[in-house]
């Protein structure tokens, strides 16, 4: 058993309480590679922001769970080396699918886990979430749960359609499970194709798709039921069109990729939404930089040559999100 406290990590409790009160949100960035980890830490240190580094089941499979845990430990030491005396870094399991996966993460040094029972019945979701909460809280590990279903791929669980969270269910769910935060469904979805053409309108000037607004009425109703309770938004990449254009210009094929407008996320961050999940935007930033590099320098074959601009582009994106969208800068 390794406690996250020995690794210099923190759980989400205090971080979320401050974020809800202060009207900002903590960035939750997924990572699979060393370059993503470096870019996240550099961005968090430079902006003096707390940060959640999250690991999906797919990331554990790709990179190896032990390596990812040591990378998170390395992230704390790297932040200190960059001049941040007291970094606030959470190592979080994203979309935990079973008690066993959550337990294995808690036992190996994660400071926070998500148990995603959103595809189960309400009763089964409560039962599974409570089981994880009871175990996690013994070790001061915080637990995120989910009510409502997001469209798109959630790790290996995919849903064609979203089901908005029902505000009338949240009090019973939070009380019976004892979860520390709640992911809700109000119109965000995973991946780079969040809406179909039919769901969008078209901007007459640019020809680009304009997505439908998030269901802020549902968010407000949930906030009224659970005042001050930490709310989480998944599927919150905004799919920057300049990155999509770069990818397409240099040989990629991402037609109609569309995300959540940053203005909507900014509005959500000012509410009880205190954790905003971003993964796809990092993938796009990395891919755009690599495609551009290869197009301009076809003779390069040393990964450091193309991963350096990729890392720089991700860092730029993370800093932009922290300062311009989430407002978590200068909160350490």
- Residue 114 · residue 55 · CB < 8 Å: no
Task: Provide, rounded to whole angstroms, the least separation between the CB of residue 260 and ligand 13P.
Answer: 7
Can residue 190 be called a binding residue for ligand 13P (CB under 6 A)?
A: yes
* One residue of 57, 234, 291, 331 binding ligand 13P per CB under 6 A: 234
What are residue 227's phi and psi, to 5 degrees?
-60, 130
Active site residue 94: yes
Among 94, 116, 180, 279, the active-site one is 94
Can residue 181 be called a binding residue for ligand 13P (CB under 6 A)?
A: no
Binding pattern for the stretch 251-280 against ligand 13P, x by CB under 6 A and - elsewhere:
--------------------------xxxx
Q: Which does 155 bind (CB under 5 to 8 A by kind): ligand 13P, ligand G3H, Zn ion, none?
A: ligand G3H
Instruction: Give 190's contacts (C-beta < 8 A, 6+ positions apart).
Output: 150, 151, 152, 153, 154, 234, 235, 279, 280
Nearest partner of 202 among 125, 118, 258, 120, judged by Cα: 258
Question: For strand 26-30 and strand 51-55, is the pairing parallel, antiparallel, or unpaired?
Answer: parallel
Binding pattern for the stretch 219-258 against Zn ion, x by CB under 5 A and - elsewhere:
---------------x------------------------
Can residue 92 be called a binding residue for Zn ion (CB under 5 A)?
A: no
Q: How far apart are CA 296 and CA 290, in angstroms?
A: 10
Binding to ligand 13P, residues 14-73 (CB under 6 A): 30
What are residue 142's phi and psi, to 5 degrees?
-90, 155
Task: Provide, rounded to whole angstroms, the least separation between the CB of residue 240 and ligand 13P.
Answer: 12
Can residue 191 be called a binding residue for ligand 13P (CB under 6 A)?
A: yes
Q: Which does 58 bind (CB under 5 to 8 A by kind): ligand G3H, ligand 13P, Zn ion, none?
A: ligand G3H
Look up residue 293 and give its two tokens: 């590099």
Closer Cβ to ligand 13P, 167 or 235, answer by number: 235
Closer Cβ to ligand 13P, 19 or 192, answer by number: 192
Closer Cβ to ligand 13P, 30 or 165, answer by number: 30
Q: Which does 12 bind (CB under 5 to 8 A by kind): ligand G3H, Zn ion, ligand 13P, none?
A: none
Can residue 275 be called a binding residue for Zn ion (CB under 5 A)?
A: no
Task: Provide, rounded to whole angstroms, the least separation between the CB of residue 190 and Zn ion.
Answer: 6
Interface residues with ligand G3H (CB under 6 A) are 30, 56, 58-59, 94-95, 154-155, 190, 279
Q: Which does 275 bind (CB under 5 to 8 A by kind): ligand G3H, Zn ion, ligand 13P, none?
A: none
**CA 72 to each of CA 26, 50, 82, 289, 314: distance values in angstroms, whole numbers, following the listed order:** 17, 14, 15, 25, 18
Can residue 235 be called a binding residue for ligand 13P (CB under 6 A)?
A: yes
- List residues binding Zn ion (CB under 5 A): 234
Residues designated catalytic: 94
């Amino acid at each position: 058993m390794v406690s996250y406290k020995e690794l210099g990590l923190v759980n989400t409790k205090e971080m979320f309480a401050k974020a809800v009160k202060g009207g900002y949100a903590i960035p939750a960035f997924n990572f699979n590679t060393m370059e993503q980890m470096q870019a996240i830490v550099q961005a968090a240190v430079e902006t003096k922001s707390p940060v959640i580094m999250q690991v999906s089941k797919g990331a554990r499979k790709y990179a190896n769970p032990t390596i990812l845990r040591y990378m998170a430990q390395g992230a704390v030491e790297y932040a200190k080396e960059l001049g941040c005396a007291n970094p606030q870094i959470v190592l979080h399991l994203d979309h935990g699918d079973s008690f066993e996966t959550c337990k294995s993460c808690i036992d190996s040094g994660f400071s926070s886990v998500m148990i995603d029972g959103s595809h189960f019945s309400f009763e089964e979701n409560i039962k599974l979430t409570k089981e994880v909460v009871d175990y996690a809280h013994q070790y001061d590990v915080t637990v995120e749960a989910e009510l409502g279903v997001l469209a798109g791929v959630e790790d290996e669980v995919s849903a064609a359609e979203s089901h908005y969270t029902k505000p009338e269910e949240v009090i019973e769910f939070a009380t019976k499970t004892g979860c520390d935060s709640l992911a809700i469904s109000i119109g965000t979805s995973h991946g780079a194709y969040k809406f179909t053409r039919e769901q969008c309108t078209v901007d007459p000037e640019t020809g680009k798709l304009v997505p439908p607004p998030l269901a802020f009425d549902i968010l407000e109703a949930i906030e009224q039921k659970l005042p001050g309770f930490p709310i989480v938004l998944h599927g919150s990449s905004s799919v920057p069109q300049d990155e999509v254009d770069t990818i397409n210009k240099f040989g990629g094929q991402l037609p109609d990729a569309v995300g959540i407008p940053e203005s909507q996320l900014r509005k959500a961050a000012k509410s009880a939404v205190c954790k905003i999940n971003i993964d796809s935007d990092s993938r796009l930033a990395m891919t755009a930089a690599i495609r551009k590099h290869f197009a301009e320098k076809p003779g390069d074959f040393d990964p450091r040559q193309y991963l350096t601009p990729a890392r720089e582009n991700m860092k730029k994106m993370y800093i932009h999100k922290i300062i311009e969208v989430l407002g978590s800068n200068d909160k350490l």
